[in-house]
Amino acid sequence: MLNRNEPSNEPDPGDEDITEPDTASCPEACDCCTPDPYRSTAYDGGGTEGESIPQYYDDIPLDEDYLVQVPEIAKLDDESPFVESDAKLKAEMKLKTVTRSMDGDVLIVGAGISGMQAALDIADKGYRVILIDKSSTIGGNMVKLDKTFPTNDCSICTSAPKMVEVSRHPNITLMTYAEIVDLQGDAGDFTAHVYRKTRYVDPDKCTGCDDCAEVCPVDVVSPFEERLARRKAIYIEFPQAVPIVYTIDYENCVGCGYCERVCEPEAISFLEKSEDIEVKIGSVIVATGYELFEPLEMRREYGYGKYPNVITAMQFERLLSSFGPTEGKAKRPSDGESPKSIGWIQCVGSRSKQLGFPYCSRVCCMYATKEASIVKEAEPDTDVTIFYMDLRAYGKDFQQYYDKAQDMGVEYIRARPSSVFQNDDDSITVRYMDTHTREVQDKTFDMLVLSTAIMPSSENKKLGDMLGIDVDENGFFKVESVMDEPIETTREGVFLAGCNQGPKDIPDSVAMASGAAAKAMEAIIDRDQVVPAEKPKEKETKGEKPRIGVVVCHCGKNIHGFLDTVEVADYAKSLPYVEYATDVMFACSEDIQNELRKLIDEQDLNRVIVAACSPVTHGGLFQDTLVEGGLNKYLFEFANIRQHCSWVHSHDREVATEKAKDLVRMAVVKSSLLEPLSQEEVGVIPRVMIIGGGLAGMRAALALDKMNIESVIIEKEDALGGQLSRLHSLFPLDVKTSDIIDPLIEEVKSSDKITVKTATTLKELKGFIGNFEAVLETPGGDENLEFGTAILATGFQEIDLNGRYGYGYSDKVMTQTELEEKIKDGSLERPKNVVMINCAGAMEPERPYCCRIGCGVSIKNAKLIKDAHPDSDIYILYRDIRVFGKDEEEYFTDVIENRRVKIIRYAEDNQPTVEIDETDGSVTVNVYDQVYNKEITLPADLLVLTAETEGCVETEDIMEMFKVPSGAGKFFIEAHAKIRPLDFATDGVYFCGSAHFPKNLADTIAQAEGAASRAAIPIMKGKLTLEGITAEVVPELCSGCKLCITACPFSAIDLNEDGIAVVNAALCKGCGLCNATCRPGAIQQKGFNDHQILSVIKGSMNEVY
């Protein structure tokens, strides 16, 4: 199997002797995880059972010495020019670089998911973004992951489209392999220097064919593969890398020149120089991400680096990834066997000041749960165990995900293992004390995974010094004010996004990135927007006889190696209406695009077909070329002869060729029936309606104000402030809510761009993105409001405990919010014994989720009482303490250790009970302590219930009117749990704050500013271009039966006064459901109408049609 990838001296793609490609692939292979057109032997970790993952630690000694040696990766870094002294670097830069300058509006440093999101948000508003990344590809850490919790979406599948969007966006200048080296000036007028290292490969010429890597004789340990595999000295990091341009790793290149000789497009140039680029911008966003804790010196008791079968969770992600070294199969590094048992140890490097970092790393509980579930799903017999301290399933749908993992058989043991040792068969034994049974036990696994913490990048200090921004005591970038400005750095005009200021999960990072995009707008808002490039005039083709041009792509050997493209092109020529057909090496290359534009003109073509890969990845590229050539983009048709033909029938050249001919014929039939479609444009009313005048709504309005956008806040209560105004102070910084909310209300009221309507609710709504019309119910009667986009910031409420735990039966029993109201107005009398019950009404079948904020609130309120009344005894009864992220863990530890607040853990199936004595009104709580295994009775002067939360009562009406969904606990459901956390599937409607899910102040602000950024995009665009593929009605055929109206999921169809169906093109998404439902065929989906599809069916069968 390995032979197939060996450098061949017979490059003839037509060679009969093509070895069968590897068909073994991961069972969970997903869209973009091409397991490898590019993988070379060196890092083909072996798909065969029983083969070890051999190159694993080849040159990293496995003995104790390794622990004191500089690890391989660090060594590579040490040799990179950036670690050398500044003087030397500068001297070298002068020698080896050319200088040029560039103007932009915002510079974004780091192109992981956060950097990409921020770039798109700004570029979509019409401003110029310069996006740089020090790696040779964009995508960051997210693309390394196999799947993402809690939806198990394939990570690369969701990030790849964003990567492509970034690279194709006309307002984004993307520079990879580049670093920022200097930043001078002030907000609005920065001058930065970017050092773009040469990759010795011309990006315009490189087609990403992998011929160079095949012949490269140098193997390098791959940092992308977490050292589990190797790559060549000329490489792309992974098959879906953007840009797909190879890079010569100068440090490891031996200069043999093999790559240069085999490179057909002559893309390799050893003379290409690095560049020093002077960049003038108005704001800077730093999105440089994080590193993972290396358990080498600290936490060496877990045997990482010493025992081959102890790996980190990120390494395990690479094993699970279908384009990773084992093609998605969990295998033991020592022998390549499938492990029958796997253990995870949590909190490696986190929650310990002595052995790593004091904070909770926020994502590890869930990623370990995810990894364990994936293993369990693929191999149900595998024994999977997670050793945890507190299982922090705090986020939206996290608890349900955790419950599901337990149902699947993932075992959770509450223990922090003390040591780990290796047995003769390379298995690993973990020694731990179960905190429930308090017994020391051993458990043996075939493989052990360490859930290592997110830690600040080691370059933060240096980068911070250069950028003039501070780092905190852990090494993360410091934010201006955690409670006030969680996105701003200590330097004006420089903003943060993602994990470089503390651990975050993907949706929080994406929301923050959108927030940073909003912030970055402030300094550049008065600049002119980019005027979109003038499109060439569209040729009139309606009514013309079809004149089709067909381009058949070889895709190097990817198509031509398995079928005869020349024969396919010749066949295409014989088909009706085909004026021109040709076969080309790479249809997607820049010169072929130019060629195509010329062909359209010279051959007077009015239809184009490309027979190549997939419309999903390349459709947009060719459509753009058509437009540049003066043709309507809907006159393009794709024949997928790679993914749907050459790659899946690679064993039979003749059969594949015949099928490719059929596919081309079908495309010709379709193409001959295509018609140019117009894309209508609609204007956008430049006003945002915000529902909810709490913190989120107000912060969103202020962010919009800074972007010069008008907004109207609708608040149902008589005053602004929302939930926050009921509270006393906030976890974890003990800030008084009044210090936050009062200035905010003042600022909102003094803005001339914000209108506040209190005691007002939404009564009626019609319209769609760009043009909504609402009727508001105000104290002064009904009012009309027109707006372009809407932000829902409706917040949350505590559930009605309905008599549970004695709630409502005694004055001594209250919720946390009620307690805070008492503390706030000073009416709380000195309590002696205080009992708090966490998770009241939470994580039960009716409300299966964790409320995310309750643990923090209870700890903060315990501290408040204790500080006011030091002799009070306070007991917090909890299920898991879920304080996560920076500062929270530290706060918790302080309260427990220094305030002597006692915590008692109870089990899910053995909840505390409350007795209220009818005679004297005394309250007693009985709880079974899970840690000490005994029943405890606590008298309570004050019983505080940390009640479960839910979305606001109005949610249902709003759902109905805006046609947006909500899920568990009436919290709104976002368009995508990971990468579109602030959008709804319905265009033009966004949401933020606790309407999404309860969250702390910093996360709420980040989301609110993010939602403002999202809602500002359509408004700043000024007009919206609608989809061309929509439904249209032939009025003569319509009988007015309304079936289409029932079928349409988007309410895009109505009957006009003549009883005929009419389609609102702005709402129609072009699904074609109406078309399939309409009996007389009166409503037709443009581009997929009945005639077109029926003809293609016919064309698929018959040689001649």
Partner 1 sequence: MTDEWDPKIIGFLCNWCSYTGADLAGTSRLQYPHNIRIIKVMCSGRVNPQFVLKSFQEGADGVLVSGCHPGDCHYIEGNYHARRKLTLLKDLMDFMGIDDRRFQVSWVSASEGHKFAEVVTKFTDQVKELGPQDKLRSTTDVEGGGK
Q: Where are the alpha helices (DSSP H) in 351-441?
A: 364-378, 398-408
Minimum CB–partner distance for residue 22 and partner 1 (Å): 6
* Residue type for position 776: L
CA neighbor of 691 nearest in space, from 796, 790, 769, 797: 790
* Nearer CB in complex with partner 1: 154/605: 154
In the complex, minimum distance from the CB of residue 26 to partner 1, in angstroms, rounded to a whole number: 8
- Does residue 687 sit in helix, strand or coil? strand
Instruction: State both tokens at 896.
Output: 């427990």
Shortest reach from residue 146's CB to partner 1, in Å? 11
Nearer to partner 1, 32 or 703 (CB): 32
- Minimum CB separation of residue 565 from partner 1 in Å reads 16
Q: Is the dihedral of CA 486, 490, 496, 498 positive or negative?
A: negative
854 or 1070: whose CB is closer to partner 1? 1070
Q: How far apart are CA 320 and CA 327, in angstroms?
A: 7
CB of 587 to partner 1, least distance (A): 16
CB of 25 vs partner 1, minimal distance in Å: 4
Where do runs of H (alpha helix) occur along 52-133?
A: 65-68, 72-79, 86-96, 113-123
**In Å, what is the CA distance from 98 to each residue of 101, 267, 751?**
10, 19, 48
Distance of closest approach, residue 892 Cβ to partner 1, in angstroms: 38
Least Å from the CB of residue 907 to partner 1? 33
Residues that bind partner 1 (CB under 8 A): 21-23, 25-35, 153-154, 157, 322, 614-617, 640, 642-645, 647-652, 655-656, 658-659, 662-663, 666, 985, 1029, 1047, 1049-1050, 1069-1073, 1075-1077, 1085, 1088, 1090, 1093-1094, 1096-1098, 1100-1102, 1104-1105
What spatial distance separates the first Cα and last Cα of the chain, rounded to whole Å? 44
Contact 922, 830 (CB under 8 A): no
Answer yes or no: are the C-beta atoms of 109 and 284 closer than 8 Å: yes
Q: What's the min distance (Å) between Cβ of 239 and partner 1?
A: 8
Q: For the packed helices 1001-1021 and 506-521, what is the interaxial angle rounded to 10 degrees? A: 60
Taking residue 115's Cβ as centre, other Cβ atoms within 10 Å add up to 30
In whole angstroms, the minimum distance from the beta carbon of 20 to partner 1 comes to 8
Residue 976 or residue 1021: which is nearer to partner 1 going by CB?
A: 976
Closest approach, Cβ 1094 to partner 1, in A, equals 5
The residue (of 345 and 612) whose beta carbon lies closer to partner 1 is 612
* Of 930 and 1030, CB closest to partner 1: 1030
Structural tokens at position 415: 């223990």
Give the burial class of 514: count Cβ atoms within 10 A of its Cβ; 0-12 exposed, 13-18 middle, 19 or more buried.
Answer: buried
Would you say 23 or 678 has its CB closer to partner 1?
23
Q: Give least dist CB 963 to partner 1, A.
A: 9
> Among all chains, which residue has been given the structure tokens 């309005």?
701
**Strand locations in 715-862, DSSP E?**
729-730, 735-736, 754-757, 761-768, 771-778, 781-787, 789-792, 796-798, 813-815, 833-840
Query: Residue 16's CB: how many other CB atoms inside 10 A?
Result: 6
The Cα 370–Cα 344 span in angstroms is 11
Is there a contact between 865 and 814 (Cβ–Cβ < 8 Å)?
A: no
Measured between alpha carbons, how far is 128 from 920 in angstroms, rounded to an integer?
71
* Smallest distance, partner 1 to C-beta of residue 1069, A: 6
Distances (CA, A) of 1094 to 297, 409, 604: 68, 50, 28
The smaller minimum CB distance to partner 1, of residues 355 and 1029, is found at 1029
Choose between 944 and 1082: whose C-beta lies nearer to partner 1: 1082
Minimum CB distance to partner 1, residue 543 (Å): 20
CA distance 171 to 530: 8
CB of 643 to partner 1, least distance (A): 3
- List, in order, residues 6 or more apart from 1082 with CB less than 8 Å away: 1033, 1034, 1035, 1036, 1037, 1038, 1039, 1061
CB proximity list for 399: less than 8 A, separation 6 or greater: 393, 843, 848, 849, 850
Min CB(617)–partner 1 separation in Å: 8
Local structure of residue 930 (DSSP, 8 states): T
- Between 434 and 1090, whose beta carbon lies closer to partner 1? 1090
Alpha helices per DSSP H over 629-721: 653-673, 695-706
The smaller minimum CB distance to partner 1, of residues 415 and 588, is found at 588
* Residue 937: its H or E element: strand 934-940
Strand partners, 819: none
**DSSP assignment letter at 414:** E
Tell me whether residue 91 or residue 648 sits nearer to partner 1 (CB atom).
Answer: 648
Give CA separation, 62 vs 57, 209, 305, 963, in Å.
7, 36, 6, 59
What's the min distance (Å) between Cβ of 644 and partner 1?
6
CA distance 708 to 711: 10
As measured in angstroms, the least distance from the Cβ of 1076 to partner 1 is: 4
Measured from the CB atom, the residue of 160 and 837 that comes closer to partner 1 is 160
Task: Decide if 891 contacts 859 (C-beta within 8 A).
Answer: yes
Q: For partner 1, which is the closer residue by CB, 66 or 1088? A: 1088
* Those residues with Cβ within 8 angstroms of residue 782's Cβ, 6 or more apart along the chain or in another chain: 763, 775, 776
